Amino acid sequence: MTKDCRFCRSNGLLADAALAETARHFLLVGRDPELPGAVMVVPHAHFADPFAMSADDWADLPAALTLAREHLAPLRPAGFTLGWNVGAAAGQTVGHAHLHVIARHDGGTDAGLGIRAFLKAARKAG
């Protein structure tokens, strides 16, 4: 636990309830209004980024991803985008490792466009 980390559950700063849990991870609903079909997979232990995660945390990640997929299944996604933001330069705003799992749909404005399209659009906007 880190005293001021809002994803460390033991310090009391996380107001959101977990959607589901595995032995080493919990799921939170995504809060970005532009990504209504998203969840985050968050390690129980505090790691600043995924590079610091333990082998046991990595071994438990498939179980957490299965729970994320099951949670998003009612949205009937045609695909998923998975992403880590590591460091402020990459857009990480919470200093606790977390994996974004984003449901993607056919027919949307971003259908068929991978993660590079998001990056390219951000460069053009900035």
Model confidence over 79-97: pLDDT tens digits? 999 999 999 998 888 899 9
Domain count within the chain: 1
CATH number of the CATH domain containing 100: 3.30.428.10
How far apart are alpha carbons 33 and 45 in whole angstroms? 27
Structural domain contains residue 3:
no
Higher pLDDT, 35 or 25: 25
Higher pLDDT, 98 or 108: 98
Structural domain contains residue 1:
no
Structural domain contains residue 109:
yes
How far apart are alpha carbons 92 and 78 in whole angstroms? 27
* Containing structural domain, residue 33: 9-125
| Reported pTM | 0.84
Structural domain contains residue 51:
yes
